[in-house]
Copies of this chain bind each other. A is one copy, B any other.
Amino acid sequence: MELVIPAPANITTRDRLILAARDLFWSAGYESTTLAEIVKKAEVNSGSLYYFFKTKEELLLAVLDWYMENLFPQLIEPIIAHISDPIERVFALLDGYRKALIATGCTYGCPIGNLTLELGDSLPRAREKLAKNFEGWRQWVHKFLDEAGPRLPKNLDRNEVATFVLTVMEGGVMQSRAQQSLEPFDAGVRQLRTYFYLLTGERPAPVQ
């Protein structure tokens, strides 16, 4: 799955902590994850966490930085490398989330979305970084849509559509998680495809 990279051989203690926290925050949420679990998973001594991160919140911030830094190399770059049609690149992003749902039996979701809803505004610095993560995604989708050029209506607000794509992604993952079924996610993607067909007039094949 795109979201997890196997830990390299001699990774630093700090990075081991970030990766362990990333996985646990993703699967159990921020509040439910204890520092004890993190240091155990990272195979780090309990006090060492404090050496690198002043608080649990600072560790979360580092995790959110990790997501920002790894969006391109882990998710965007492979898509650019393998898919040339810009609109299909957008749907490839969605498909990445679909694969994550499958791999986890529809129990996990988007780490950014999860944390956004769990934390609300209780950790303002985290909220800012979550917004920046969304912004990073949005910019890439926007870029892909720009690359579609005249295939999309001239006066279509590409940035707004990019936001819409993220909306469909997040709302779909949420419902699939609630229902533990791929259906709601797939339904959302199919409707989004239909929308794109109507916008581009490129019928018929629903899947290229």
Q: B-contacting residues of A (Cβ < 8 Å)?
A: 27-29, 31-32, 107-109, 112-114, 116-118, 120-122, 127, 130-131, 134, 153-157, 159-161, 163-164, 166-172, 174-175, 177-180, 183-184, 187-188, 190-192, 194-195, 198-199, 205, 207-208
The oligomer's copy count stands at: 4
Across the interface, do B28 and A120 meet the contact criterion of CB distance under 8 Å? yes
Chain B residue numbers with a CB within 8 Å of A175 are: 134, 163, 166-167, 170
29 A-B residue pairs with CB within 8 Å: A29-B118, A32-B122, A107-B121, A108-B120, A113-B117, A114-B118, A117-B174, A117-B177, A118-B118, A130-B178, A131-B179, A134-B178, A134-B184, A160-B187, A160-B191, A163-B175, A163-B187, A163-B188, A164-B191, A166-B171, A166-B175, A167-B172, A168-B168, A168-B171, A169-B171, A171-B171, A171-B174, A194-B195, A195-B195
A178 CA to B113 CA, complexed, in Å: 9
Give, as a whole number of angstroms, the nearest-CB distance from A152 to chain B.
8
A175 CA to B170 CA, complexed, in Å: 9
Q: Which of B116, B127, B155, B164 contacts A188 (CB 8 A)?
A: B164
A26 CA to B156 CA, complexed, in Å: 36
Q: Which of B29, B113, B130, B180 contacts A127 (CB 8 A)?
A: B180
Main SS at interface, chain A? helix
